[in-house]
Amino acid sequence: MNIPRPEYPRPQFVRPAWLNLNGPWEYQTDRGESGEARGFARGAEVPFNETITVPFCRESELSGIGDKDFCDCVWYRKTVSLPADWLGGRRTVLHIGACDYRTDVWVNGQYIGEHIGGYVSFSFDITAALQEGDNVLTVRATDHLRTGEQPGGKQCMQYHSCGCSYTRTTGIWQTVWLENLPGAYIAHTKYYPDLDRSKLVIEADLHGGEGLTLCADASYNGVAQGHGETVVHGGKATLELPLKELYLWEVGNGRLYDLTLTFGEDRVESYFGMRSVRCVDGFLYLNGKPVFQRLVLDQGFYPDGIYTAPTAAELEADIDRSLAMGFNGARLHQKVFEPLFLSLCDRKGYMVWGEHANWGLDIARQTAYENFLPEWCEVLARDFNHPAIIGWCPLNETQPNQNDRFARLLATVTRQYDSTRLYIDASGWKHVPGVSDILDIHDYEQDPAKFAEVLAPLANGGTYDVHRIFGPAYRMEVQATFVSEYGGIRWASADASGWGYGQAPMSEQEFLDRFRGLTEVLLFHPRMGGLCYTQLTDVEQEVNGLYTYDRKAKFDPAFMKAVLSQKAAIETE
């Protein structure tokens, strides 16, 4: 059988004993949320009347369902036969890359547990519920998108997609897989590059194996670079891995070391990058040098898969499309991107900002704490080791009546878990004073001359008034050094009705002139450390991409690259 998305889903933490569960699953729509009462969770007793192709959401064509209407509850079921050597003293873990929004899991009719959050990977140890021969896995996904109490990103709250909101994603939308582990194993790691001492510091959480030795071996292009080891006590370990030669992870050069971790019978193949990130006067410094961020907004939507790329090749192709236009990174916008995409960014030296999908969540309510913070902590833990992530920005364009105490707590939690990256509290509209490393703004002014005029005060220590774009409720003066959304020029030669920013250009040349003019305002501004153009591709009715939704270039990428490759004012010889 041809398994969709067959590749190993977690490239930075690889073990050989795994089983990809993508492909056909039994499926049942449960609009009345009565499935448990009807016996859906009791093994295979009650037949399901549909089939779905995992890992594609029910709304997508690739799922085989293609039902885009609202549905608050769906069920999945699959019968799996495990390899014989997976039983007998070993552990079996069920992994779900992402499932929107609340997930409940049963194995052979036995309830295993729940996960709340639609964007991050999670797992359950299902060993105790397994049996020899066939095992029935049952998954329920509950998704109350319209309550205002859960992050939904750009999923549309109306039946039809409109403006900058698009087709919804319900249920499983990333790879489902099983992993088999020895009784003692490595549960989690954090990598801390130490450039000054040419060392990698590894913190690890271990399951079992009291008194065993954790070993780490690094190599670069097949040449051994160092070894470190330590004895494990209490399920925790910290070790230093000295490196013979220092190769830096840089923009455009994703130099990565291979890393092998061993702990008793457990063996994990991993990798890491040596780089440092800090903020100096509002600018990004990578490995001690200023770097101008030439970013593009990437929303990660696909015509046939919605939230899910149809193939791993398409994930990589989106990065290559961005690089071809001259961008050196992306804001991963209103979505938590899958680990494989982040690993591709690591290898290509492609900078990204990690974001969550806060739209749809009312962060003035107390429930924001419960329904955002736990999953955000899971995002930080899962993605901490990716060198391509240079900063965290959990929120985007927040409301004027947001709970500032929530925003401050979110910043505190993020910084306490990860002190190695930059932080922006909420991109674009409202900043809580004193929280962000970099202050950013969104400005979709379409006239380059006016754009230069409104940004000119920043050159002399002046401020930008956010309410100019978003109204009196957002009156706030900021000393921004990053325009993290601009442009968004509407262009669809065959469809004048598409949504986008500003008056559509009358010709291709007018588009190119406007792109150059707006971009050069930012590149040549003495107090600007980065830009982010909206956006990489069209998404459904939104037609302000540099590529169409089906990934065809609207203009010659060489032109954009020539514009963006000009030296920025902050860049020195």
- Among candidate residues 187, 185, 199, 210, the one with its CA nearest the CA of residue 262: 185
Residues 300 and 400 placed together within one structural domain of the fold: yes
pTM score of the predicted model: 0.96
Residues 257 and 355 placed together within one structural domain of the fold: no
Distance CA 568, CA 571 (A): 5
Is residue 10 one of the residues assigned to a domain?
no
Residues 282 and 396 placed together within one structural domain of the fold: yes
Which of 161, 181, 201 is the last residue before a domain boundary?
A: 181
Residues 137 and 212 placed together within one structural domain of the fold: no
Residues 273 and 380 placed together within one structural domain of the fold: no
Rounded-to-5 percentages of helix, strand, coil across the chain:
20, 35, 45
Burial environment of residue 552 by CB neighbours within 10 A (0 to 12, 13 to 18, 19 or more): exposed
Domain span at 153: 18-181
Helix axes 557-564, 312-324, angle to 10 degrees: 60
Which of 181, 209, 239 is the last residue before a domain boundary?
A: 181
**How many residues make up the chain in this entry?**
573
Compute CA distances 200 → 217, 245, 536, whole Å. Answer: 11, 12, 35
* CATH number, position 530: 3.20.20.80
Contact 24, 52 (CB under 8 A): yes
* CATH number, position 259: 2.60.40.10
Distance CA 562, CA 544 (A): 20
Q: What per-residue confidence (pLDDT) applies to 476?
A: 80
Q: pLDDT 10s digit of each residue in the chain, 573 long?
A: 689 999 999 999 999 999 999 999 999 999 999 999 999 999 888 999 999 999 999 999 999 999 999 999 999 999 999 998 898 889 999 999 999 999 999 999 999 999 999 999 999 999 999 999 999 999 999 999 999 999 999 999 999 999 999 999 999 999 999 999 999 999 999 999 999 999 999 999 999 999 999 999 999 999 999 999 999 999 999 999 999 999 999 999 999 999 999 999 999 999 999 999 999 999 999 999 999 999 999 999 999 999 999 999 999 999 999 999 999 999 999 999 999 999 999 999 999 999 999 999 999 998 889 999 999 999 999 999 999 999 999 999 998 889 999 999 999 999 999 999 999 999 988 899 999 999 999 999 999 999 999 999 999 999 988 877 777 777 788 899 999 999 999 998 776 678 888 888 999 999 999 999 999 999 999 999 999 999 999 999 999 999 999 999 999 999 999 999 999 999 975
Q: Is the dihedral of CA 178, 184, 188, 191 positive or negative?
A: negative
Which 3-state string (H, E, C) describes 432-467?
CCCCCCCCEEEECCCCHHHHHHHHHHHHHCCCEECH
Residues 350 and 466 placed together within one structural domain of the fold: yes
Residues 115 and 160 placed together within one structural domain of the fold: yes
Which of 112, 146, 181 is the last residue before a domain boundary?
A: 181
Distance CA 254, CA 364 (A): 40
Residues 169 and 190 placed together within one structural domain of the fold: no
Distance CA 116, CA 111 (A): 16
Question: How many domains are there within the chain?
Answer: 3
Q: Is the dihedral of CA 263, 268, 270, 276 positive or negative?
A: negative
Distance CA 326, CA 263 (A): 43
Give residue-wise pLDDT tens across range 4-49: 999 999 999 999 999 999 999 999 999 999 999 999 999 888 999 9
